[in-house]
Amino acid sequence: MQLPATPIEVPPSWASLHVSQWRGLMMLIGGVDMGKSTLARYICQELLQAGVRTAYLDGDPGQSTIGPPATMSLGLLELAQDGTLHCEAVWRIFIGSVSPRGHMLQMLVGASKLVRAARRAGAEAVIYDTTGFVDRAGGGLNLKWAKINLLRPALVVALQRQDELESLLTPLRHSRRVPVITLEPSPYVQPRDIDARRSHRAWLFGRYFSQAQELTLDAGRLAVFPPMPFTYNQLLALEDRAGFAQGLGILRQVQPAGTLTILSPVASLEDVTLVHLGEICVDPRTFEDRRIPY
């Protein structure tokens, strides 16, 4: 798995941050289309060039970077000779949806598990690229607050256009809970509208399932959560005992005897103990997703 290799324009405000000296957990926050993921990639590059063992936490189940969508993923990074960033190891948590709305506890638990995985793997720096969900009425602000309080990052890097994050940042600064750096959004951002976001997700799912094969699961041997209902083309995760997704699948058939046929790129079911059903369907021809109406 490789991070995008598109060129990064570095504004003077980034160059003066001396990010190669940063250690511990760095959490990037900001609304949509602020340049968070590109800034995260820049920080990872600088750290790796300085020889720092670095992990990238892709915390966006919608516009994922190392995805696939509907997951949060942690990649332990290495720098290739041509300057591109690769994951030497990946851990994934299944969110089951491409939006944080209605899945905030899963996201909080996922972030905590992935940060712990990064520490166990010996990462000296973890760059946490969060979603653009900062809407106060929708609960986005509370989710960010909860994550900061749980994870106690070494640094919060906030990208804001005016003062839209101040109801979070001002209390953080005044309480001296966490150091905060505020930056203006990248002037090089190319915003994506809803349609562009949908088709980007379909592309990410398509890339993930490009090597998928039909697998047969004996649901009698495996736990299923939640137990019902099964839906045709439902996205699911094959999870291990620790709750990490070994991979995703698309449900194709349920036989009366409890055998499930899925499409999945997962090579081995050896460590899989649970089938975690998601709340979206993914069309295996177009890879477009749609919410299951419950």
Ligand X SMILES: Nc1ncnc2c1ncn2[C@@H]1O[C@H](COP(=O)(O)OP(=O)(O)OP(=O)(O)O)[C@@H](O)[C@H]1O
Our finding on whether 144 is near ligand X (CB under 6 A) is no
Of the candidate spans 17-25, 72-80, 142-150, 183-191, the one that interacts with ligand X by CB under 6 A turns out to be 183-191
33 binds, among Mg ion, ligand X, none (CB under 5 to 8 A by kind): ligand X
Buried b (16+ CB within 10 A) or exposed e, 35-57: bbbbbbbbbbbbbbeeebbbbbb
Compute the least distance from the CB of residue 34 to ligand X, in Å: 4
Closer residue to ligand X (CB): 34 or 248: 34
Compute the least distance from the CB of residue 157 to ligand X, in Å: 12
Of 22, 25, 27, 37, the one binding ligand X (CB under 6 A) is 37
Closer residue to Mg ion (CB): 37 or 45: 37
Site size toward Mg ion, by CB under 5 A: 2
Of 25, 29, 33, 238, the one binding ligand X (CB under 6 A) is 33
- Do residues 259 and 216 lie in contact, with contact meaning Cβ atoms separated by under 8 Å? yes
- Is the sign of the CA dihedral 23, 150, 42, 74 positive or negative? positive
The CA distance from 189 to 95, in Å, is 27
C-alpha gyration radius of the chain: 19
Residues in 25-64 that interact with Mg ion by CB under 5 A: 36-37
Of the candidate spans 5-13, 77-85, 87-95, 136-144, the one that interacts with ligand X by CB under 6 A turns out to be 5-13
Where in the chain does DSSP place strands (E)? 24-30, 54-58, 71-79, 85-94, 125-129, 155-159, 180-183, 213-218, 223-225, 234-239, 245-254, 259-264, 274-282, 289-291
The CA distance from 175 to 173, in Å, is 6
Our finding on whether 201 is near ligand X (CB under 6 A) is no
Q: Which two tokens stand for residue 46?
A: 């600088």
264 binds, among ligand X, Mg ion, none (CB under 5 to 8 A by kind): none
232 binds, among Mg ion, ligand X, none (CB under 5 to 8 A by kind): none
38 binds, among ligand X, Mg ion, none (CB under 5 to 8 A by kind): ligand X
Of 8, 263, 269, 274, the one binding ligand X (CB under 6 A) is 8
268 binds, among Mg ion, ligand X, none (CB under 5 to 8 A by kind): none
Q: Which residues are within 8 A (CB) of 39 and not within 5 positions of it... i.e. 6 or more apart? A: 14, 28, 157, 159, 183, 186
The CA distance from 115 to 57, in Å, is 8
Q: What pairing do the DSSP bridges indicate for beta strands 54-58 and 71-79?
A: antiparallel
Residues that bind Mg ion (CB under 5 A): 36-37
Question: Rule CB under 6 A: which residues touch ligand X?
Answer: 6, 8-9, 32-38, 60, 63, 132, 186, 188-190
